[in-house]
Amino acid sequence: MATKVLLAEPRGFCAGVEMAIKALTWMVQVFEPPVYCYHEIVHNAAVVTAFEHAGVVFINDINDAPEGSPVMLSAHGSAPEVVSAAAARAAVMVDAVCPLVTKVHHEVRRMADQGYDIIYVGHEGHDEATGAIAEAPHAAQLVDPRVGLDTFEATPGAKVALLAQTTLGLYEWEGVLGSATERYPDLWTARKSDLCYATTNRQLAIQKLAEGSDVLLVVGSENSSNTQALVRVGRNAGIPSYRIDGPEGIDPLWLDHADVVGVTAGASAPDQRVQSVIEAISPSEGTELVRVTQEDEYFPLPPQLRKFMQTLQALIEGGFACRTPGEYGPVELDRHLSATDALTILGV
Ligand code: SF4
């Protein structure tokens, strides 16, 4: 039986996931179901199931959203043709792309416009990689970090830029960065890597956990890229590391000889799942927080949703002659609502 759980801080929801979950919660509260969401809003089975119960239909082809329906696009970022098709057919279209993914989309377009060949380091078939490369498919080539640069061929004489999926493992990024810098001495890459703050912080926390844990449990779903990266970081740090969706996924054999269990969660995993994992482990000496940094990033709701809600609020207040100048509305109060609160409304 485990004596202690070392709990990583930060873990779980990042600012992009917070924003996307709250935005979709607003959508299901404001519109009659179904609300259509292009791709899973975030890659987490519990979150997706909660929204399905609340009336969201997840689609992988934007044409599956009936004309005139409310449509949301996921946090991972969508191809430009998907964004315009959604805007054309939806009554209200809200793009919940994370601003840090949007930054990479801008970089892809900018470097392609300047004539660069682009190495985009990411995972084949992941929604974020697919959406980013679609910004300039003629210029950007996907390079899997596990394969490295073997598959990349630059046009003779072309300048080369190196960009990345935001959720890569740090060591995966550094591996490709090292070989690309060696191969292309004039390589362009963003001054601060495309790996987002949440990815980096959660991976640094694992390195700290690994110093004192016998085994590591990472809460998150199979198709969550940053969750999988956390498992690989744990294994690279030399401790047995396992991904689980929740307590039901724990194999008792993993904990057989484990005195101290490290616990963390991917950026799309609800903290309720983490708490039930700790309850299932039931450490005799309790839980100790291992904090590497304090996160206070906040991303406001998507502009289309803010505008829609402000218009709605003005209509209601105007209609009932109850406008109170200076009074805050739901958009202004959003910063004080967490995605965990939003999921509680949905019954997670
Ligand atoms: S993991 Fe990073 S890029 Fe992805 S949604 Fe969260 S903050 Fe944005």
Give the residue numbers annotated as catalytic, written as ranges.
128
Helix (H, G, I), strand (E, B) or coil at 135: coil
- pLDDT score recorded for residue 277: 98
**Low-confidence residues of the chain, pLDDT below 70?**
316-330, 348
Confidence at residue 314, expressed as pLDDT on a 0 to 100 scale: 75
Query: Does the CB atom of residue 199 touch ligand 1 within 6 A?
Result: yes
Q: How far is CA 82 from the centre of its chain?
A: 19
Distance from the alpha carbon of residue 15 to the mean position of ligand 1, in angstroms: 7
Q: What DSSP character marks residue 184?
A: -
> From the CA of 17, how far away is ligand 1's center (Å)?
7
The sign of the CA dihedral 6, 269, 345, 322 is: positive
Residues written for the chain: 348
Ligand 1 atom closest to Cα of residue 42: 5
How many A from CA of 226 to the centre of ligand 1? 9
* Residue 101 near ligand 1, beta carbon < 6 Å: yes
Show the DSSP H helices in 167-302 as ranges. Answer: 170-183, 197-212, 225-236, 252-255, 271-281
Burial of 324 (0-12, 13-18, 19+ CB in 10 A): exposed
pTM of the model: 0.93
Query: Measuring CA to CA, which residue among 329, 342, 313, 304 is closest to residue 70?
Result: 304
Q: Is 267 in the pocket of ligand 1 (CB under 6 A)?
A: yes
Going by C-alpha positions, the residue among 175, 194, 268, 276 that lies closest to residue 227 is 268
Residue 115: predicted pLDDT: 97
Amino acid at 283: P
Paired tokens of 204: 């640094």
Contacts of 113 (CB under 8 A, 6+ apart): none
Q: Which of 17, 22, 173 to probe ligand 1 with, by most ligand atoms within 8 A of CB?
A: 17
The pLDDT of residue 329 is 60
Give the integer Cα–Cα distance in Å for 41 and 1: 37
Report how far ligand 1's centroid is from the alpha carbon of 167 (Å). 7
Instruction: Tell me what pLDDT residue 324 has.
Output: 56
Please choose from 24, 105, 166, 194 the residue to mutate so as to test ligand 1's pocket, defined by most ligand atoms within 8 A of CB. Answer: 166
DSSP-based helix, strand, coil % in the chain, nearest 5: 45, 15, 40
* Residue 32 three-state SS: coil
Residue in 41, 196, 230 to alter for ligand 1 test, most ligand atoms within 8 A of Cβ: 196
Q: How far apart are CA 62 and CA 58, in angstroms?
A: 10
Q: Which residues of 123-147 are buried (b: 16+ CB within 10 A; e: fewer)?
A: beebbbbbbbbbbbeebbebbebee
Cα torsion angle, 121, 125, 128, 132, sign: positive
Angle (CA) 305-310-315 rounded to 5° is 125
Cα–ligand 1 centroid distance for 255 (angstroms): 31
Domains and CATH numbers, the chain: 4-13+197-291 (3.40.1010.20), 15-98+299-306+326-346 (3.40.50.11270), 100-189 (3.40.1010.20)
In sequence order, what are the residues at sequence separation of 6 or more whose Cβ sits closer than 8 angstroms to the Cβ of residue 105? Answer: 77, 97, 131, 132, 135
Shortest-distance Cα residue to atom 8 of ligand 1: 16
203 lines ligand 1 (CB under 6 A): no
CA angle 110, 226, 98 (to 5 degrees): 45
* 342 C-beta closer than 6 A to ligand 1: no
Nearest atom (ligand 1) to Cα of 99: 8
Contact 35 CB / ligand 1 (< 6 Å): no
> Coil, helix or strand for 128?
helix
pLDDT score recorded for residue 328: 58
Residue 244, φ and ψ in degrees, nearest 5: -140, 150
